[in-house]
Amino acid sequence: MINFDEEIQKFHPALEISDVEDAIKTENAISDLTDLMMSVMNSKQEVNQTDSIKME
Amino acid sequence: MKCFNCGSFLYEGDTCNVCGADVSMFKKIVKESNALYNKGLEYAKDRNMSRAVQCLEVALKMYKNNVNARNLLGLVYYETGEYTLALAQWVLSKNIQPENNLANEFIDNFQDKRSELDRINSALKKYNKAVSYAHQGSYDLAEIQLKKLLNDTPNIVKGHQLLALLLIRKNKLADAKVALRKAEKIDAGNPMTISLQTAVMDEIKEEEKDLSPGEIKAKRSAEAPEEERAPLSGDDVIIPESNYKERNPIAMAILQTIIGVIIGAAIVFFIVTPAKTKSARAELASVKTDYENQISTLNARIAELEGRKETSDEKSVTEIDNYKNLIEALNYFANEDYTKGLAAAEKIDIDKVEDADFKSLYENSIAARMATLGDDLYDQGIYAYESGNYETAADAFYRSYEYNKEQNDDSLFLAASSYWALGNDARARELFELYTTEFPEGYRIDEAYYNLEQIPANASGTTTEDNAEEAPAEEYVEEAPAEEAPAEEY
């Protein structure tokens, strides 16, 4: 049996065309695996640089 | 594929040729993203939009510059009624790859068709209003709003689902089932649609549990969905049922063909044929004019030739007559019948003769003879005049003058005198005047003028024996022959 009140809360207002700018910003802000990989590589470089300074 | 680090093109190998970055992992990520895109595409083809969205979103989380995945995700959003999300995906896709991108076409469709954009915006507003009504507990208003919305924009999946939920609440399970079926047609794998469908089927089974198959059938037919009919609005017009029945289509087709043929024939008869007839008439008139011109030319030619023929005939006749008269004259002269010979010679029209031989013969035989005869006639005239036979004298003198006009001025004078003596004053005056004209230096010119003064200007041509004897000219005529030596000889 369906719980109507519970189900009705699952429906949210749709984004209107005027909200497209916000939608684009939100979507563009999402980072992907390449971003993560870049971040990892940058962190790795920083660690390597710190180690070399300490060695010196 | 471009390097994630420096943006240069990548070739085979695990390192970037430009920046030297390790791209092995990156290549694997892109490959996996593309695999997910392909999977999403397969789901989209099966109209399992929810699963397609899942795959494509993961593909973009792996590699957000996957333009194909982004375009397809936008298309899937558009198909399920998520217009704003669709537009956002396409705008991002265009930003990643401005040229040679399908997203450009999709965006242009949005921007070019202002009415389409307005329709979508209006649909989204209606949906949001319906959601708002539902949240506020105004379920009937929400239902009406959703029915309007889905009538205009039938591919909003969330609209069908919300409507189904409202119908389930009112226990209109058959209608809810129809609404969910429509949602399923747009997105076959939507979890909420499946969930609601399961719930509806459970409810229906529960209700029909205690009923016989006949009752179930009757119940289902009674609950036959009114779903297909669009909700009425204030602007709708209700058209009463008509008794009109579609006629037999074959008969209608035949009738229409016949009418078409008749119209075609009428067009040919009234438009095409007159035009052709007019053209043919114009051509005929042109040909007729040509023939008439040719006929008139030929007629003119015929007339000219006939004229030539007549002239030629006349000429031939004249020539033949001249030859005849020449032969006749020569014959009479040979027989010494000079009177008849001269009469025949006089008939010859020497001016119209072109033959040199004829002319030569005429000059040598006839003309010379006529000159001689002029002298003979002069002598005859003198003899007749002296005998008082003025009539014979007048004739002889005049003929003498005729035969040798240049030399016989005396013949002409005496001919005039003879006529005067005969009382033929008019003829006498005529010949005296001729004398003064032809021989102005003749030795009888003074006498001629004198005689002309004597003859009345309105002289008549009456001839009497008496006045012939009393003619004043007689005095001169009496004297004249006396002076002429040849006359005395006669």
pLDDT in tens, B406-421: 667 888 999 999 999 8
Q: How sure is the predictor about B334, in pLDDT bands with cuts at 50, 70 and 90?
A: confident
pLDDT in tens, A1-56: 788 888 889 899 998 888 888 889 988 888 888 888 888 888 888 888 888 888 87
Q: For residue A44, what pLDDT is reported?
A: 83
Which residue among A8, A16, A31 places its CB closest to the CB of B84? A16
Residue B97 burial class via C-beta count within 10 angstroms: exposed 0-12, middle 13-18, buried 19 and up: middle
Distance from CA of B192 to the nearest CA of A (A): 9
pLDDT digits (tens, 9 = 90+) for B170-183: 888 888 999 999 99
Q: How many other C-beta atoms are found inside a 10 Å radius of the C-beta of residue B34?
A: 17
Instruction: Quote the minimal CA–CA distance from A20 to chain B in Å.
Output: 6
Does the structure show a pLDDT above 70 at B122? yes
Nearest CA among B189, B216, B185, B204 for reference residue A2: B204
Chain B's closest residue to A19, CA to CA, is B84
Q: Would you say residue B359 has pLDDT above 90?
A: no
pLDDT of residue B461: 52
Q: Which residues, in sequence order, are bridge partners of residue B2? A: B9
pLDDT at site B86:
92
**Given a cut of 80, is residue B106 above it in pLDDT?**
yes
Give the model confidence (pLDDT) of B301-332 as tens digits: 888 888 888 777 776 677 788 888 888 888 88
Q: Which of B2, B85, B111, B168 to mutate to test the interface with A (most CBs of A within 10 A)?
A: B85
Q: Any bridge partners for residue B22, and if so which? A: B15
pLDDT at B20: 81
CA distance B324 to B337: 17
Q: How far apart are CA A18 and CA B84, in angstroms?
A: 8
Chain A contact set for B122 (CB, 8 A):
none
Its sign, for the CA torsion B273, B275, B280, B285, is positive
Any CB–CB contact under 8 A between B169 and chain A? Answer: yes
A53 touches chain B (CB under 8 A): no
The nearest CA of chain B is from the CA of A42 a distance in Å of: 10
Contacts B161 to A, Cβ<8 Å? 11
Q: In the numeric block, which tokens belong to residue B341?
A: 């010979």
Q: What's residue B186's pLDDT?
A: 93
pLDDT in tens, B21-80: 788 888 889 999 999 999 999 999 999 999 999 999 999 999 989 999 999 999 999 999
C-alpha span between B77 and B54 (Å, rounded): 11
Nearest chain B Cα distance for residue A6, angstroms: 11
pLDDT at B479: 39
Query: B124 CA to chain A: closest CA distance, Å?
Result: 6
- Residues B150/B163, Cβ–Cβ less than 8 Å: yes
Q: How far apart are CA A1 and CA B176, in angstroms?
A: 14
* Residue B160: closest CA among B184, B194, B141: B184
3-state secondary structure of B389: coil
pLDDT above 50 (res B472): no
For the segment B476-485, the average pLDDT, to the nearest whole number, is 38
User: Which residues of chain A neighbour B129 with C-beta distances below 8 Å?
Assistant: none
Residues of B in contact with A30 (CB under 8 A): 60-61, 64
- The pLDDT assigned to B470 comes to 38
- Kindly list the residues from chain B whose CB atom is less than 8 angstroms away from the CB atom of residue A9: 135
Contact between residue B55 and residue B37 where contact means Cβ atoms under 8 Å apart: yes
Considering only CB atoms, B4 lies closest to which of A1, A30, A34, namely A34
Residue B487 has pLDDT above 60, yes or no: no
What is the per-residue DSSP string for B198-251?
HHHHHHHHHHTTTS-HHHHHHHHHHT---TTSPPP-TT--PPPPP---PPPHHH
DSSP conformational letter for B462: -
Q: Which chain B residue has its CA at the smallest distance from A3's CA?
A: B169
For residue B469, pLDDT beyond 60: no
Residues 6+ apart with CB under 8 A from B201: B177
The pLDDT of residue B5: 78
CB contacts of B4 in chain A (<8 Å) are: 34, 37-38
A5 CB neighbours in chain B (<8 A) are: none
Residues 6+ apart with CB under 8 A from B256: none
Q: How far apart are CA B202 and CA B77, in angstroms?
A: 30
Task: Report, as an integer, the average pLDDT of B393-415.
Answer: 84
pTM higher than the cut 0.95: no
Q: What percent of chain B has pLDDT over 90?
A: 29
Q: Sorting pLDDT into bands at 50, 70 and 90, what band is B489?
A: very low
How high is the ipTM of this complex?
Answer: 0.85
Alpha-helical segments (H) within B356-464 = 356-361, 368-386, 390-403, 409-422, 425-438, 445-454
What average pLDDT does the segment B452-478 reach?
52
- Alpha-carbon span B434 to B405, nearest angstrom: 11
pLDDT of residue B136: 92
Q: Assess B168–A contact: CB distance below 8 Å, yes or no.
A: yes
Query: Which of B208, B203, B206, B151 is closest to B176 using CA atoms?
Result: B203
Taking the Cβ of residue B1 and every Cβ of chain A, the question of whether any pair is shorter than 8 Å is answered with: no
Angle of the B338-346 helix axis to the B368-386 helix axis, nearest 10: 120
Contact check, Cβ <8 Å, A32/B127: no
Q: How far is CA B465 from the centre of its chain?
A: 96
Q: For residue B474, what pLDDT is reported?
A: 40
Residues of B in contact with A41 (CB under 8 A): 5, 21
Q: Which residues of B touch A17 (CB under 8 A)?
A: 83-84, 87, 117, 120-121, 124
Q: Closest chain A residue to B64 measured between Cα atoms?
A: A32
pLDDT recorded at residue B247? 64
Cβ-based neighbour number of residue B3 at 10 Å: 18
pLDDT of residue B245: 62
Contact by Cβ (8 Å): B181, B47: no
Helices and strands (H, E) in chain B, number of each type: 23, 0
Other C-beta atoms closer than 10 Å to the C-beta of B12 total: 5
Residues B221-279: pLDDT tens digits? 766 665 445 555 566 666 665 566 666 778 888 999 999 999 999 998 888 888 888 88
pLDDT of residue B243: 60
Q: How many whole angstroms separate alpha carbon B60 and alpha carbon B62?
A: 5
- B147 pLDDT above the threshold of 60: yes
Low-confidence winner among B113-117, B144-148, B162-166, B176-180 (lowest mean pLDDT): B113-117
Average pLDDT, chain B: 82
Per-residue model confidence (pLDDT) at position B344 = 83
Give the pLDDT score at B346: 78
Largest Cα separation within chain A, whole Å, is: 72
Cβ contact, residue pair A37, B162, below 8 Å:
no
SS3 at position B10 = coil
B127–A14 CB contact, under 8 Å: yes
Q: How confident is the model at residue B480 (pLDDT cuts 50, 70, 90)?
A: very low
